[in-house]
Amino acid sequence: MANNHEQFKAFHDAIKATSTRRKTLKKNRDALRDKIKKYFKDNHSDYIQPTFYWQGSYAMHTLLNPIKDENGLGAFDLDDGVYFESDDINDRKSIDWYHQEVYEAVKDHTENGADDIDPCVRVQYADGHHIDLAIYFLHTTEDKTMLAHRLEPWHESNPDEMIAWFSDECKSKTKFRELVRFMKAWCEYKRSEGIKMPSGCIMSMLTSEYYQWNDENRYDIAMRDILKNMYDNLSKEGHFHCWRPVEPGEDLFDNYTKGRKDTFLKELKSFKEDAEMAIASKNQHDGCVRWQKHFGDRFSCSTAKDVDEGASQQRLSGTINKNSQYA
């Protein structure tokens, strides 16, 4: 049985966002927050002043190094919450007002500008990343956090509860954060091939729902088992759901078209089958190549032994190309 645990460990080192990258992103975030604060102080000094909270992959520590394109740029997104807090619900203005004012505050912040994309205001950066500014009204009297989504009415959405849920999952499930990074890296690689895949938020929830660890303490076995559990359940008639584990508890697959559902299940089935064959393989290198098919060549096979179990000769191959877009 092929053991690719060491290749997974090296892959994790390759995809996990470095401390330098995190510091750069934090610097960009802080500058953006200062810009918004100044705008509201100068233009709406008599109104509630905004406060901010990280959310998404940065807050959950699942941020990945991006896959680079042909220009050496790596597209990835960060999420920051812009909050307007009051004990009086009558202080809440219209959704359009919040979007327009936040957009005005940041539209010239970078040379690449900003866009209002309905769920949030997106600020673009020259290196390919962007920061999504989700806007909330927090009614402190009732402790209700409501999202300002331009295509939907005000509705409860509390990122802090998601972060707390994720933190609890990491405490109770062995190597959970690492497994989430692997699942997100799979989706990222498939997106680079033009395939529409679920968000990192959805993959975090699915990894939790179908989580399974093993006595061997191996990443490859855990991935195989999670993929099998996930596909076997989601592919059943009427079982294609992803329920948010905190309020409002909606099904995040509810708006998926049949085509998008079928695409995801097709990719998931292919990954599951290759994972099963990788574990069953008698050749470590052959097993590694099956994983690499779904992760790209950031998943290096340079250390995998190309020898069948019981054979005496071995050959090392599959060294990552330093000129690759994934290097």
What amino acid positions are annotated as catalytic residues?
77, 79, 132
CB 135 within 8 A of CB 85: no
Phi and psi dihedrals of 150, rounded to 5?
Answer: -65, -20
Q: Which residues contact 55 (CB under 8 A, 6 or more apart)?
A: 79, 80, 81, 134, 159, 160, 162, 163
Residue 232 contacts by C-beta under 8 Å, 6 or more apart in sequence?
none
**Local structure of 78: helix, strand or coil:** strand
The one-letter amino acid code at 66 reads: P
CA–CA distance, 53 with 85 (Å, rounded to integer): 12
Between CA 99 and CA 94 the distance in angstroms is 9
Distance of CA 52 to the CA centre of its chain: 20
DSSP states of 188-218 as a string? Answer: HHHHHTT-----HHHHHHHHHHT----TT--
Q: What H or E segment, with its residue span, contains residue 156?
A: strand 155-156
